[in-house]
Chains A and B, each alone.
Chain A
Amino acid sequence: MSAEKFSNPVVRWIDHRLPVFSMLDHEKYDYPVPKNLNYFWNFGVLAGLALVIMIVTGIVLAMNYTAHVDHAFSSVERIMRDVNHGWLIRYIHMNAASFFFIVVYIHIFRGLYYGSYKAPRELLWMLGVVIFLLMMATAFMGYVLPWGQMSFWGATVITNLFSAIPIVGESIVTFLWGGFSVDNPTLNRFFSLHYLMPFVIAGVVVLHIVALHRFGSNNPIGIDAKGPQDTISFHPYYTIKDMVGIAMFLLLLAVAVFFFPNAMGHPDNYIPANPMQTPAHIVPEWYFLPFYAILRAVPDKLGGVLLMFAAIFVLFILPWLDRSPVRSARFRPVFRIFFWLLFIDCIALGYLGGKPAEGVYVVLSRIATVWYFLHFLVILPMLSVFETTKPLPKSISEPVLATAKGAA
Chain B
Amino acid sequence: MIEHGPLLERLLEGEFICTVTDEHSFHKLQNEALVEEFNHFLRPLNRRVAKSEDSSVYFLAYCDLNQNARHHLSGQFASTVQSLLPMLEWMQLVQEALGRDGALSAGDTIKLQDFESKVVDNQSLMQRLAHLAADKVFKSSSDKADMQIKQVFKRIKELGYLHQPHKDRLFYIVTGKIEHLIELVRFIKDEENLPIDDVPEQEAMF
Q: Do A and B come from one complex?
A: no
